[in-house]
Copies of this chain bind each other. A is one copy, B any other.
């Protein structure tokens, strides 16, 4: 869970109120006249945890408003939309990863089959666009659809690099920029854009969100290799099993001794990770310093993200964005 200590109590209360409105809108928008659909939606609502993306929209809105705390109805709509988009990607990702556990509960694909998971993801994404097109203009829809285009490209690029043990850092960063960071960037950008802020502010906020998103994904990838399933609450070790190289593994394959490299490749080629093999991976990653390497890379991105906020006035909301960036690194789940 991403714990955020807002800059001051008023900002914290405001944010909590706004998030409650987003949750309500989320539930209302997804309600169907079909009971079979509502049951599925209730199941996915359990996945809602960090609410990172709605928070990025809302706090960016506050931080870029003249008063330092303004949020409009359009921001709430967009905050709800990005959470739906995110939820859809989780449901479809779980199919791709053949994951069984998400937020300590069974995944939809595990519980009801891949087919239902495909359609439920489609239902979520469709409702996201439906809600977004209730706004006065197409501007937000266009930006969000650009992000979802980019997310899909990132996923397809990652799929096309499965079992590619030569994957380099540049391609890894390109994958995570598209599949994770672009949506985070758009969340922050829309926060200011919908206030009619200067393009320079929106652009800086985009970069803040993009860098935060990259750091977030790097930590996610580290946790997949070293996390505790009870704490993280989702199926782990899937990246190795699905042939997806992430930053620590790329670093380890590049820097390990020939013998250790062969050990890693043997585990990767087998495509199944027992607890013994998982322990072996951790040992090698320790020896090569690959976890510290990945954590340092994430830390650097967080510092760069925070530097983008210099364009904003010093408000409690801006302090909150700084805290959120720091929290990406310290999270355990």
Contact = CB atoms under 8 A, between A and B. Distances in A.
A36 interface: yes
A230 interface: no
Given A125-B125, A145-B126, A153-B123, A36 B138 contact: no
Interface stretch (A65-73, A114-122, A280-288): A114-122
A96 B122 contact: no
Contact of A114 (B95, B120, B133, B153): B95
B123 A156 contact: yes
Report copies per complex: 2
5 contacts: A34-B157, A115-B159, A119-B155, A122-B125, A138-B141
Given A36-B157, A127-B149, A148-B129, A119 B135 contact: no
A183 to B, nearest CB: 11
Interface of A: 32, 34, 36-37, 40, 88, 92, 95-96, 114-116, 118-123, 125-127, 129-130, 132-138, 141-142, 145-146, 148-149, 151-153, 155-157, 159-160
A130 B159 CA distance: 23
A205 B239 CA distance: 50
B32 A116 contact: no
A130 B142 contact: yes
A153 to B, nearest CB: 6
Contact of A156 (B37, B125, B134, B146): B37
A36 B238 CA distance: 23
A311 to B, nearest CB: 27
8 smallest beta-carbon distances between A and B, as pairs: A130-B145, A133-B141, A36-B160, A123-B152, A126-B148, A133-B138, A133-B142, A96-B115
Given A37-B157, A92-B119, 5 more contacts: A32-B153, A122-B148, A134-B142, A136-B138, A137-B138
Nearest to A95: B118
A153 B34 contact: yes
Contacts of A153: 32, 34, 37, 123
Nearest to A162: B115
A293 to B, nearest CB: 27
Nearest to A91: B118
Nearest to A112: B159
Contacts of A151: 126
A156 B126 contact: no
A141 B126 CA distance: 11
A148 to B, nearest CB: 4
Nearest to A142: B133
A179 to B, nearest CB: 10
A126 B89 CA distance: 12
Nearest to A117: B118
B156 A34 contact: yes
B152 A122 contact: yes
Contacts of A40: 156
A193 to B, nearest CB: 14
